Chains A and B, each alone.
Chain A
């Protein structure tokens, strides 16, 4: 025996039960409270359309219990009632409705202005359809792509026929259904037709049936998305057949939203599929062909029929043993928490009050055409009841077959012939509690078309997305302006057609690329705190930033710089290629030497920097920033293909590891482990040489970001760990310690080195950050040069400058810079320098008539901290670069 946990009670579950059928069997009739007035709501459509049966299941709010299978141990609770949904004190808002007119949140609580924040808090507590569990962990879901010739939305008679027809023509088909195919349909001729067709479709290997996957949208492309519990299906079909059928026409009269009022198919489903009777004594309104079968189903389940109301044609076919009324009309349902009686208007104009506990309504059909109306591109056709509501099984079968064959879209006429009668009173939009009176009020206020009535009243914008009330909205406008066409047109349908969770909406998007260097595990062993730097995982620190910092400044230290972008560029046109690409001289780089270079886009703005080294004639080694490697490969290839030059571009980022040895003892350390000379003659500053370190062939480049003597060793990534261990071991007596990004950020600021994209913006030119020397305007051609010529006539309005702050701690990064009362800029980077005992920073400062101020005041974001800073002219540490060149 299995049970669900319903608000602390254990309720037994039978085979084939939905959550709703379990609750109905146990006599739970109030399933939710309405959005605005907290009116009691119970099962109504039992087809997954209306909002009435929404409950919280296992912490997920707004789950439609009528289409959710019951499972053992499921936790089910009702939402939006206080103290409980059963006895909701807030339902008194119904009697306050004179004070809460349509659009009340635009009208009340807004004068005086300060009232609104309080009112908003109360309104958002009172309104709603259940709280979101803020402690829940986001789930990572997958996306699954399908590329069929035909996508069929809906597994009814028309949909199955369409799938079968296409499959027999040799096409691949994906058939999507909200639930399990056929499960919603009560036994009868329709159900047997579905069962037969399903068997035939299952025999076709070309048809993929995707069940329990509500289609949430039809997008351009076309693309169809369907949200299954754990997977987001993305269907990219050649053509689409929409066979979502029709829902029964929503009823609007006073009391029509009370628990105990059912739509015919829903009542028949509860009785016929689940074997649970909707009530004991029912008044049944028959208005469709199939309603006779529903009546029979209800009687078999033991529902007493107090009165059957039917038009003459159907009344003649009613069983003779039940009381009937020809051409009557139900005008009201009475009761506080459940139907107790209904008022029927006879053809002669008498009002008859019939005591009963259930009212079953089969008034007609409204096409479930939201998805059909969403489709704006490609070949999309409707089939079955969605285009001809109320059609027979044979007509649906033929329509499906025909739709599958269509090679172009047949436009659906938005006819007004099928609109329901105009409602006179009652709640017309059950999702958002909009009454007929509200509509009339909004009309008087000047909202005089379907589109703006929808926006103002929020009617059709609730969980049912207008399935219930959209036709009534059009009928209402039509009545007001019978001679104007456009005001009563169907509103624009947009995704999502069915609710989906944030996890489903973001399925597949949170699959991040994570890059690790070969030394990743080595860092973890050393106790590193790892952080993200773009897609890379890098060591931020090894526990003691200060120790790492002093190791670089006083002894020797290692840093894993394997994340740098590394390229080999060679071929007969390699020099020509790079000379066109870069703003510095490439032709004059000598073999065994390297140069720092900026990368400019065509607008002349800096987007990356790096180093370029000549290994042999027409053979270059080029490095880029860690984050830039991927996009710069694209950049290289773009220009190579544009200029049609003979160049090979090899991205070595992943195959090469790189370790930076930095500190006054760097040469001592390298000489201990290298078999090649590493003195100033062999590897001068900015020099590059092949050295063998403990049998590992390395490319040593004497560059560094820290301001100390340093060597970057580029080597096969497979030997990174070996090299790292050898260096750490050999440097033990030199006080070696690795350093992470935290220490590096202090070290580079002491040198005034800029990090492109942290300190710069998208429109930064070299002149603005003091790197004019890196742009060789004497070169006749390089990318960005024409733009720079033009920019030369515009003096820069601001500059990035080093700023020194006295004191024993540094101001916040991002602090605003002020001169007097004027805001002149902001800090892009700021750290406290242990060596210089002051704050070192870079910041943008506005020029006043071409001149920088001498002093600025940094104001923290909360305004409480103010630091006076002196604008410096050069690096704070080793301005002559003596240590670099040592």
Chain B
């Protein structure tokens, strides 16, 4: 409830307007990229469970319906640098 996200399109909104899209862990592959199976497995499956800043994806479903990338401090829920 307390968590607020500064949406660059809509302004400061409570997190209940957003869906959490998970931690942004590296670039997903494209047909052009050569896939290293071990690295891809690590990207999809391994979670570091950071105590501190982590980069996350949030979907503003009740607003602009755009995906945002945000840095959140998992200790304080402070959200920075939303774009």
Contacts and interface: CB of A to CB of B under 8 A. Distances in A.
Interface in B1-36: 1-4, 12, 14, 19, 21, 28-31, 35
Nearest to B59: A634
Query: Which of B1, B4, B41, B66: most chain A Cβ within 10 A?
Result: B1
B44 interface: yes
Contact of B37 (A236, A637, A781, A789): A789
B28 A602 contact: yes
A221 interface: yes
Interface in B50-83: 57, 59, 61, 65-67, 76-78
B2 to A, nearest CB: 3
A787 interface: yes
B2 A221 contact: yes
A377 interface: yes
Given A603-B45, A790-B37, A219 B1 contact: yes
Given A221-B77, A786-B41, A236 B4 contact: yes
A637 B19 CA distance: 13
A602 B44 contact: yes
Nearest to B35: A786
Contacts of A223: 1-2
Contacts of A602: 28, 44
B4 A221 contact: yes
A786 B77 CA distance: 33
Contacts of B35: 786
Contact of B19 (A634, A787, A789, A790): A634
A145 B31 contact: no
A642 B2 contact: no
A650 to B, nearest CB: 12
Nearest to A639: B28
A863 interface: no
A637 B65 CA distance: 8
A781 B59 CA distance: 25
Nearest to A234: B1
Nearest to A223: B2
A836 to B, nearest CB: 42
Contacts of B78: 377
B29 A786 contact: yes
B67 A638 contact: yes
A220 interface: yes
A634 B66 CA distance: 8
Nearest to B41: A790
A87 B37 CA distance: 77
A789 B76 CA distance: 39
A273 B21 CA distance: 56
Given A221-B1, A790-B41, A145 B21 contact: no
How many chain A residues sit at the interface, stated as a range, is: 20 to 34
Interface in A627-670: 630-631, 633-634, 637-638, 641-643
Contacts of B1: 219, 221, 223, 234
Interface string A221-236: 1110000000000101
A145 B37 contact: no
Contacts of B14: 145, 236
A219 B3 CA distance: 10
How big is the B interface, by class? 20 to 34
> Which of B2, B4, B61 has the most chain A CB atoms closer than 10 A to its own CB?
B2
B31 to A, nearest CB: 4
Candidate in A221, A223, A236 with the most chain B CB atoms within 10 angstroms: A221
A219 B2 contact: yes
Given A221-B3, A634-B19, A641-B67, A580 B45 contact: no
Given A219-B2, A234-B1, A780 B41 contact: no
Contacts of A787: 40-41, 44
Contacts of A789: 37
Contacts of B21: 634, 638
B77 A220 contact: yes
A219 B61 CA distance: 25
A602 B35 CA distance: 13
Interface in A519-563: none
Contacts of B28: 602, 642
Contacts of B67: 634, 637-638, 641
Contacts of A631: 19
Nearest to A641: B67
Contacts of A642: 28
Given A603-B44, A786-B35, A222 B2 contact: yes
A147 B67 CA distance: 25
A631 B65 CA distance: 11
Nearest to A645: B30
Nearest to A789: B37
Contacts of A145: 14
Contacts of A236: 2, 4, 14
A633 B45 CA distance: 23
Contacts of A377: 76-78
Given A220-B76, A603-B45, A787-B44, A780 B61 contact: no
A643 B28 CA distance: 9
A780 B77 CA distance: 40
Contacts of B57: 638
Contacts of B12: 147
26 contacts: A147-B12, A219-B2, A220-B2, A220-B76, A221-B4, A223-B2, A236-B2, A236-B4, A377-B76, A377-B77, A602-B28, A634-B21, A634-B59, A634-B67, A637-B65, A637-B66, A638-B21, A638-B59, A643-B30, A781-B30, A781-B31, A786-B35, A786-B41, A786-B44, A790-B37, A790-B41
Interface of A: 145, 147, 219-223, 234, 236, 377, 580, 602-603, 630-631, 633-634, 637-638, 641-643, 780-781, 786-787, 789-790
Interface of B: 1-4, 12, 14, 19, 21, 28-31, 35, 37, 40-41, 44-45, 57, 59, 61, 65-67, 76-78
Please name the 4 residue pairs, one residue from A and one from B, whose CB atoms are nearest each other, closest first. Answer: A221-B2, A223-B2, A781-B31, A786-B40
Given A630-B61, A634-B59, 17 more contacts: A147-B12, A219-B1, A223-B1, A236-B2, A236-B14, A580-B30, A634-B21, A634-B61, A637-B59, A637-B65, A641-B66, A641-B67, A781-B31, A786-B41, A787-B44, A790-B37, A790-B41
